Amino acid sequence: MLYHVRMYVRLPPDLDPADRADIIAREMAYSQKLQREGKWPQLWRIAGEYANFSILDVAGHDELHTLLSGLPLFPYMDIEVTPLAAHPSKIAV
C-alpha cells in the first residue's frame, strides 16, 4: 500500500555538532535499511530545503506509523501523509 510522505526537518542551529552528526548518521542507516527492505522505494530531496518527498510501501496505516515515528529525526520533523490510489490514466510498465 503506497503512501506519499513529505518530511520537513527543523534541527535547532545550536544543536551540539556531535549530537547532530550522530542523529543524522542514525537517520541515514534507518532509512537505508527500509529502502533495502523495499518499504521506502522513493526518496527525493526538495531542492533548497531541509526536506524530502518520499513514497513508502507498507502493509497499512499501523506499519506506516511505526516506521515514521521510529525515525531518529522524528522529534524534529513536520510530516504530512497522503494515501495514494491507482490513477486511471496510469499505463502498465
- Judged by CB under 8 A, which of 21, 22, 70, 84 binds its own copies? 84
Q: Is 18 in the site for its own copies (CB under 8 A)?
A: no
Q: Is 11 in the site for its own copies (CB under 8 A)?
A: yes
- Judged by CB under 8 A, which of 21, 22, 26, 65 binds its own copies? 65
Alpha-carbon dihedral sign for residues 54, 59, 65, 66:
negative
Q: Which of 77, 69, 80, 71 is nearest to 11 (CA)?
A: 77
- Judged by CB under 8 A, which of 21, 22, 26, 28 binds its own copies? 28
Q: Is 8 in the site for its own copies (CB under 8 A)?
A: no
Contact 85, 43 (CB under 8 A): no
Place of cell 495514494: 84
Q: Read off the C-alpha cell for 5.
A: 510522505
Q: What does the binding site for its own copies look like in residue numbers (CB under 8 A)?
A: 1-5, 11, 13, 27-28, 31-32, 35-36, 42-50, 52-53, 60-62, 64-65, 68-69, 75-76, 79-91
